[in-house]
Amino acid sequence: MPHVETRTELIVTAGESPKRLDHFLANRDPDFSRTILQRLILNGHITVQGQTVKPSHKIKPGDQIVLIVPRPEPLDMEPEPIPLEILYEDDSLLVLNKQANLVVHPAPGNWSGTLVNALLYHLKTETGSLSNIGGKERPGLVHRLDKNTTGVMVIAKHDQAHANLAAQFKRHSIARVYEALILGVPKRHEGTIDLAIGRDTIERKKFSARTTKPKASATVYRVTERFGTIASTVDLFPQTGRTHQLRVHLSSIDCPILGDPTYGGKRVSSLEDIPIPRVMLHAKVLGFVHPMTQEEMSFSAPMPADMEETIQQIRTHMDSKTKQKKEGEKP
């Protein structure tokens, strides 16, 4: 059963060459990402020859490896009746359309009022549960969206589903499409932003190419609508899943997302006197293989009302400018 402790024993075969324990296990069972395996090793849930070891421990032929996936720990977080837009739900997962201004998981400054609190309330009502692989403070969370990013998210209800979905994210086999309202217009109608990023060496809360640990990252973009030269909408197809990747990449081509002062400064807080309510980024499509049934699934969420309204205000503004220009050109 997904919510009880499971125990697996492995014997390293004679044909195996010495390699790191976490690499060996990740290759043996692709349903577990290396990050999850490293956490289990460091917490003492994986042993070699009966001994706790480090993820970098070199295994050798004949070693007995015991892997224990513990039962989820009781959560201290309080369930809260926060409305959720559920797109799909079964015994293994839940897919939702996340609203704006909702922090995904508890953290300093946001110990309540989060998506996790809402999920705990919903699943308590539905007598369900959540996976615990991601840690006690992040039950069920296979991936994240920033506080003011809206759109489709998948939540794992048990560890087996979590491990499988995490492995799909790691292989970049998850289909993801975002849409954004950005400042200016990219020089090319479509293209790929290929820029390695990591935690900024000076501003530690930000990510950028100014980093000591760059990680390869790529984003394919396509312009979907232009508003003169002042703004445009784009579809974004992330090829990797780095933190703040889309925000950093668009800023790197001088087209930051409107409403994102972290990567666009003061100039993105308004456009031609039109106030921008939040970061104009929406996860509109998420596709994956169901971790239990192996069925291919795809979910989409329409652009939220505040983003639609902002775009309509910009359209109206541009139409007005065009009309004024034509009237000024009349003899």
Distance, in Å, from the CA atom of 93 to the CA atom of 143, rounded to the nearest integer, reads 13
The answer to whether 183 and 258 have CB atoms below 8 angstroms apart is yes
Reference 72, options 160, 153, 145; nearest CA is: 160
Given 22, 146, 159, 260, which residue is catalytic?
A: 146
Residue with tokens 């998210």: 153
Beta strand pairing call for 150-156 and 281-289: parallel
Active site residue 31: no
The answer to whether 145 and 98 have CB atoms below 8 angstroms apart is yes
**288: its two tokens:** 């994956």
Read out DSSP for 147-195? TT-EEEEEEESSHHHHHHHHHHHHTT-SEEEEEEEEES--SSSEEEEE-
Distance, in Å, from the CA atom of 8 to the CA atom of 274, rounded to the nearest integer, reads 59
Distance, in Å, from the CA atom of 109 to the CA atom of 243, rounded to the nearest integer, reads 20
Angle, CA of 153, 73 and 292, to the nearest 5°:
45
Containing 236, the helix (H) or strand (E) segment is: strand 231-238
Which residues have a catalytic role annotated?
Answer: 146
